[in-house]
Amino acid sequence: QVQLVESGGGLVQAGGSLRLSCAVSVRAFSRYAIAWFRQAPGKEREFVAAISSSAGGTYYGDSVKDRFTIYRDNTKDTVYLQMNSLKPEDTADYYCAARYCSGAYCVYRGQSNYDYWGQGTQVTVSS
């Protein structure tokens, strides 16, 4: 059973920062690719960032590139999303998702590739 628990959301002013955490309860955490997605009210869920299993290659959505950083701590079975220079349009529910990698390395952008999801954490950026 794989469980993901997000935390760190909240209310912040535009230009501020937040760090989201995704704690994953699973064996062999380092074999999992982890991604963050977000969904704003009335909008489709969109890709934010992903980090690969093993070597930790990272990928970002165009709207967050150069502002957000995803990284993982395999000693804590946790993935973080550092969000800087936040904008009102970053307001959304943020979800982390996990996918086991049968090979040495994998990472995906598409949400259909992920098998396990957290419940989400809300981020609100005020103008």
Which one, of 123, 103, 100, 94, lies nearest residue 5 by Cα?
Answer: 94
Task: Show pLDDT as tens, one digit a residue, over the chain (127 residues).
Answer: 899 999 999 999 999 999 999 999 999 999 999 999 999 999 999 999 999 987 679 999 999 999 999 999 999 999 999 999 999 999 999 999 999 999 878 999 999 999 999 999 999 999 9
**Identity of the amino acid at 64:** V
CA dihedral 5, 86, 11, 18 (to 10 degrees): 40
The answer to whether 112 and 68 are in contact (CB under 8 A) is: no
Give φ, ψ of 31 to 5 degrees: -85, 5
CA dihedral 24, 27, 31, 34 (to 10 degrees): -10
